[in-house]
Structure 1
């Protein structure tokens, strides 16, 4: 998912992020690619216990001192005890939101287990756990299954240092109360970002790249 992000920012735009904060990193499928492409700093966040252990192994194997794995469920507030809906596809579709339309789009994915999980805002998580690494990151990747606006609401301080945001988006309705593409675009304008790329699939979801207004202004000034 997020290596497509590097394909676009570096391969097509010639801009390599200094570092990446990846919320919803799962088992670290992109870690080796981040390292191979020259990313020096990365904060990789994943809430699911077993999946997180696999992520830790990937980070260790990468041998990059600037890569840090953190176990947390990011949300708009600290300390909320919410249901975590566990998906059968190795946790790839697991979410803090209850699945709804996802069952129809992907009937092969089951949600038979729930557990309680305590939330953290991204701002607070980075402050207490990895401030030194996080300060070197200017890209944010969100793969949070419909909770994008909730995560961003708890990341307003972090967003001030971010130039690029890569978000897995949908038309909405995959999870109860999820963020639709239109809602995300509107919210991102308020945070000072504009959409630079969008690729949707026939399954009603896709990926979008947002650039900070200052990055866009710089590109326009130098063209």
Structure 2
């Protein structure tokens, strides 16, 4: 019953956003990303640029293009087998640039866990807790991927204000921010997923991330999405922050 309620509510928001049910069948279409961006739109009426870190197959980029058609989207996806899918799914979008790399706090190569369920791939290993709750995330193998700091890419990534930095990097968000200290002066909003339990080994949990982002000069706006267990425990939440004094 809970799942039926969530699906029905999601479809209502999908239709209210102006997207047709037919568009759900398009490659890369995502109800979850539509819900998150539908909620973001309440707080951010317009964006000039979106930095999409952890793009996967383009789910967020496709939804973002609908809600913010005037924004240039910079999508970063490191997995070599997923990146061509991202390119294919977003090929008809105007104003998108894609990059086959991770963002972090170093430049070079990064050891990475490529998960059979690609959404769960991360620079951090999946925790025993997550494997137990979500068995489809239990299998991964180590690879090496290219990584760069956002600060080193400012000659490529044009920060047209207002700018949203979205991060969905499975516990690696703090490292992305550490590599973007100079860039943050030009970033107006942060959107990232944070955990309340350890879904990945060594990931910073909500309290640590919230305090860290506040120290960087951002203030909390609202939660815009969440992940629940079958027992209705909130495991992760998508949080929206804005730079102070904007």
Class of the TM-score when normalised by the shorter of the 2 chains:
0.7 to 0.9
- Match of 2:186, SS state, is coil
Matched, 1:213 2:244: yes
Gaps of 5+ in 2: 1-31, 230-234
Q: C-alpha separation between the residues in 2 aligned to 1:75 and 1:14? A: 26
Match of 2:48 in 1: 18
Are positions 1:71 and 2:100 aligned together?
A: yes
1:87, CA displacement in angstroms?
1.3
Q: 2:111 pairs with 63, 74, 83, which one?
A: 83
Shift of 1:2: 4.3
Give the 3 Å change call, closer, same or farther, for CA 78–55 of structure 1 in structure 2. Answer: same
Q: Partner residue of 1:143?
A: 168
CA distance in 2, matches of 1:182, 1:195: 12
Superposed counterparts of 1:19-34, under 5 Å: 19-34=49-64
**Separation (CA, whole Å) in 2 of partners of 1:109 and 1:39:** 36
- The separation in 1 between residues aligned to 2:43 and 2:190, in whole angstroms, is 14
**Is residue 59–residue 69 contact of structure 1 (8 Å, CA) maintained in 2?**
no
> If the length of structure 1 is used for normalisation, what is the TM-score?
0.85
Instruction: Give the counterpart of 1:98 among 119, 125, 145.
Output: 125
124, 142, 145: which one aligns with 1:114: 142
**Against the structure 1 CA distance between its residues 110 and 14, is the aligned structure 2 distance closer, same or farther, given a 3 Å change threshold?**
closer
Any stretches of 5+ residues in structure 1 without a counterpart? 216-223
After TM superposition, which residue ranges in structure 1, 4 or more long, deviate above 6 angstroms?
none
Cα pair 1:24 1:46 within 8 Å, conserved:
yes
Higher RCO (CA < 8 A, seq sep 6+): 1
Shift in CA distance, 188/14, structure 1 to aligned 2, threshold 3 Å: closer
Q: Deviations over 1:46-90 (max 9, x none)?
A: 00012111111123222x1x21001111111112x332111112x
**Contact 2:33 / 2:63 at 8 angstroms: preserved in 1?**
no
The answer to whether the 8 A contact 2:126-2:138 is kept is no
What CA distance in whole angstroms lies between the structure 2 residues aligned with 1:116 and 1:172?
A: 27
Q: Tell me what 2:183 maps to.
A: 158
Paired with 1:32 and 1:157, the residues of 2 have a C-alpha distance of 28
Structure 1 pair 14–114 and aligned structure 2 pair: CA distance change class (3 A):
closer
Per the TM alignment, residue 108 of structure 1 is displaced from its structure 2 partner at its CA by 2.2
**Cα 1:56/1:137, change in 2 over 3 Å:** farther
Deviation at 1:151, TM superposition (A): 0.7
Q: TM-score, normalised by structure 2?
A: 0.77
Q: Distance in 2 between matches of 1:14 and 1:177?
A: 32
RMSD value, Cα: 1.9
The partner residue of 1:191 within 193, 198, 216 is 216
